[in-house]
Amino acid sequence: MLLLFELSGEHATMPVSELRGIMDAENIEGNEIYHNNRMAIFEVDGKVERIAERVAMSHSINEVIAAGSEKEIENAVKRISMEGSFKIEVLNIDKRIDSKKLKNKMGEKISKATGCKVNVKNPENLIKIYSYKNLYLTRELFKIDRHQFEERKGKPFELPITLHPRLARAMVNIARVKKSSIVVDPFCGTGTILIEAGLIGARVLGIEAKKWIADGCKENMEHFGIDAEIYNEDMRNADLRADAIVTDFPYGRASYVGEEIKKLYREAFKKFDEWLSHGYIMAGIANRQLINIGKEFFDLLEIHPYRVHKSLTRFFCLFKK
């Protein structure tokens, strides 16, 4: 099935990387055809609903009915098979067409070809036409519930510096986390990453050096019904096993400066190497120099610069052992 993923556009590279990660984690056969920062096209063999359940940085998943020029799209409409009412949306990404004119024309042609009626308020089928160099005539299969991530921002225990749940979910997906695999966050804080990993079915384990934060993390796990193991200790003293490590290294803390933070990174990556027999590490890293420490232990596959605010850019890096 040829699918068009309407990307969120909130980051230049992470949305497509997330899709690749989900497909790998779910053993979904997928051939990437094309992507830009607004849409990605994949040939996918089944399990589309599992992608929809996991993905964070896409708005919708759509089946491609036809692609090409306006004339080619019109010809494809003659062969469209559909029952029930429909609505047409035009997403004019490259601003090269008259959206209203195309919407009206295609609505008339689909009605004539199928006998189906337009229903703009409660349609049974949502037909979406994307314009980017070519036209893509699609039918929406899944609309992604992105509001759920906003709701999870309101955890019982929060701190000022906390990852957005949507970013945390994308990190988990990019790390190829599988259902029932053991995911470790060695700097777990309030548990945002652990929550997102737990909600897709992973077994989660967190380490937090400060007791009051570890206690708050446990409260959050209970709130979301996630059976997590949360340890109050220095991660450098932990002895455990992991299938994947997903974490955001500490930053902006006066206790980690200069050579001390380099020491922390080196000791942490050494621990990751002990914990993992093979698998992925997805980590938020403070600067490019510190990425090189990770490269001493693991293969660096991806770097995703992420601007937090104008004076701070984080680097979300995918490593593999």
More confident residue, 273 or 160: 273
pLDDT the model gives residue 311: 73
Please list, in sequence order, all residues whose beta carbon lies within 8 angstroms of the beta carbon of residue 34, skipping any fewer than 6 positions away: 40, 41
pLDDT the model gives residue 260: 87
Q: Domain 2-143 adopts which CATH fold? A: VC0802-like (3.30.2130)
Please list, in sequence order, all residues whose beta carbon lies within 8 angstroms of the beta carbon of residue 169, skipping any fewer than 6 positions away: 54, 56, 149, 196, 200
Query: Taking residues 195-202, what's their average pLDDT?
Result: 98
Across the chain, how many H-helices and E-strands are there?
Answer: 10, 14
DSSP string, 2-33: EEEEEE--SSSSHHHHHHHHHHHHTT-EEEEE
Cα torsion 138, 57, 34, 319 to 10°: value is -150
What pLDDT digit, counting tens, does each position of 216-246 carry? Answer: 999 999 999 999 999 999 999 999 999 999 9
Q: Tell me the C-alpha distance between 283 and 303, whole Å.
A: 10
Per-residue pLDDT for 155 more than 70?
A: yes
Enter the tokens of residue 297: 């232990």
Per domain, the residue ranges of the chain are 2-143, 147-320
Q: Are 185 and 194 in contact (CB under 8 A)?
A: yes
Query: Taking residues 266-286, what's their average pLDDT?
Result: 97
Query: Taking residues 114-120, what's their average pLDDT?
Result: 95
pLDDT the model gives residue 255: 44
CA 113, 119, 125, 130 torsion-angle sign: positive
Enter the tokens of residue 133: 């160099």
What pLDDT digit, counting tens, does each position of 43-62 carry? Answer: 999 899 999 999 999 999 99
Enter the tokens of residue 48: 């589309």
Best CA proximity match to 320, nearest among 240, 245, 235: 245
The architecture that CATH gives domain 147-320 is 3-Layer(aba) Sandwich (3.40)
pLDDT the model gives residue 258: 60
Q: 229 has which bridge partners?
A: 205
Best CA proximity match to 129, nearest among 190, 62, 196, 220: 62
pLDDT the model gives residue 309: 76
Between helix 165-174 and helix 14-25 the angle, nearest 10°, is 50
Enter the tokens of residue 31: 């051939």
Query: Taking residues 108-125, what's their average pLDDT?
Result: 96
pLDDT the model gives residue 146: 95
pLDDT the model gives residue 254: 41
pLDDT the model gives residue 307: 86
pLDDT the model gives residue 318: 98
Q: Are 86 and 139 in contact (CB under 8 A)?
A: no
Mean pLDDT of the chain: 94
Q: E strands within 23-110?
A: 29-35, 39-45, 58-68, 86-92
Per-residue pLDDT for 291 more than 90?
A: yes
Between helix 165-174 and helix 192-199 the angle, nearest 10°, is 60
pLDDT the model gives residue 64: 97
More confident residue, 289 or 309: 289
Per-residue pLDDT for 86 more than 90?
A: yes
Query: Taking residues 100-119, what's their average pLDDT?
Result: 95
pLDDT the model gives residue 199: 98
